[in-house]
Amino acid sequence: MNKIREYIKLSTDELVNKVTWPTWEELQESTLIVMIASLLIALVIYVIDIVSSSALGFFYQIFQG
């Protein structure tokens, strides 16, 4: 039980005194960067999906008829 108390005490001390938390402005900037990156990745996946769907439809059409 003492090890658990010591672990919690050390963890709390580290979170309160040793961790550098971002400012509100830094947090907003990071959030914006993540949102833009997520949208770009979603757009790339969408384009790949459309292109592969069209290519497969073209190949199916060739081999069916």
For the segment 2-61, what is each residue's pLDDT rounded down to a tens digit?
Answer: 999 999 999 999 999 999 999 999 999 999 999 999 999 999 999 999 999 999 999 999
In a domain, 4, yes or no: no
Chain-centroid distance, C-alpha 56: 30
Q: Which domain holds residue 54?
A: 22-65
- pTM confidence score: 0.65
Number of domains in the chain: 1
Does any domain span residue 8? Answer: no
* 30-52 b/e (C-beta count within 10 Å ≥ 16 → b): eeeeeeeeeeeeeeeeeeeeeee
Residue type, 55: A
**In-domain check, residue 5:** no
Q: How far apart are CA 13 and CA 7, in angstroms?
A: 10
45 lies in some domain: yes
